[in-house]
Amino acid sequence: LRFWPKESHHNETPDQWSLYPPNCCCLQITHTSTLTSCHLIQDDPCPKCEEGWEHHRGRCYYFTTNKSPWEESRNECRDKGGDLVKIDGQDEQTFLERRLREAMIDNTDKFWIGLTDSQEEGRWLWVDGSPLDTRFDSSSTYLSTTRNLHAFIEPSCKVPHKSICEKKEKRATCV
């Protein structure tokens, strides 16, 4: 996952984003790749997501088809019992990359995620209040581990885009 301002030449680092006004973050697939394997894991009790939500490793994801500004998108996610997605690691990023490729109608589709610097310019926070960590692990591997999923910094959070909601799965007993 690589982050850069929409109007940039894709070479800014997160510490240079403060050059831009308060922003929100959205995702777009810009290249293709091949998914080499898929493993289905079944736990007991069974993971459950409501109709229209997709399950992945203990979380439920909802990919909106309507376009709304960032704040309205966040409110829609909250109304559904979740929030805009927070990308916590490589596995989740790979899932989103694969799923976004399926959800995109055209190459210009972008999806709001739960990352913004609206509280303090240049201080990027996820919707849960945690700071953006540009590494997935302690070995300093930056989020730019794939060429396929890019996070664009939208100059205005008022631009309508689709969005990705996320919430914890509900558990039920398998029968």
Write out pLDDT tens, residues 113-128.
998 888 888 888 899 9
On the question of pLDDT at 57 being above 70, the answer is yes
Using the predicted structure, report yes or no on whether residue 105 has a pLDDT greater than 70. yes
**In the chain, % of residues over pLDDT 70:** 59
Side chain identity at 160, as an amino acid letter? P
Digit-coded pLDDT (tens) for 149-158: 566 676 788 9
Q: Is the pLDDT of residue 4 over 70?
A: no
Judged by average pLDDT, the poorest of 61-70, 74-83, 99-108 is 99-108
When pLDDT is cut at 50, 70 and 90, the band that residue 173 belongs to is: low
Percent of the chain with pLDDT over 90: 29
Mean pLDDT of the chain: 73
- Residues 122, 141: Cα–Cα separation, whole Å: 21
Q: CA-to-CA distance for 111 and 97, rounded, in angstroms? A: 11
What's residue 82's pLDDT? 97
Give the SS3 label for residue 143: coil
Q: How far apart are CA 60 and CA 137, in angstroms?
A: 23
What pairs with residue 115 in β-bridges? 126
Q: How far is C-alpha 43 from the geometric centre of its chain's CA atoms? A: 25
When mean pLDDT is compared across 10-14, 71-75, 92-96, the lowest value belongs to 10-14
Structural domains of the chain sorted by starting position, each given as residue range(s) with its CATH number in brackets: 2-31+42-172 (3.10.100.10)
Q: Vertex 138, ends 133 and 142: CA angle to 5°?
A: 50
Q: Are 3 and 25 in contact (CB under 8 A)?
A: yes
Mean pLDDT of 75-89: 95
Local confidence band at 81 (pLDDT 50, 70, 90 cut-offs): very high
Higher pLDDT, 100 or 37: 100
Q: Other CB atoms closer than 10 Å to residue 139's CB: what's the count?
A: 6
**pLDDT value at residue 21:** 52
Asked if residue 25 has pLDDT above 90, the reply is: no
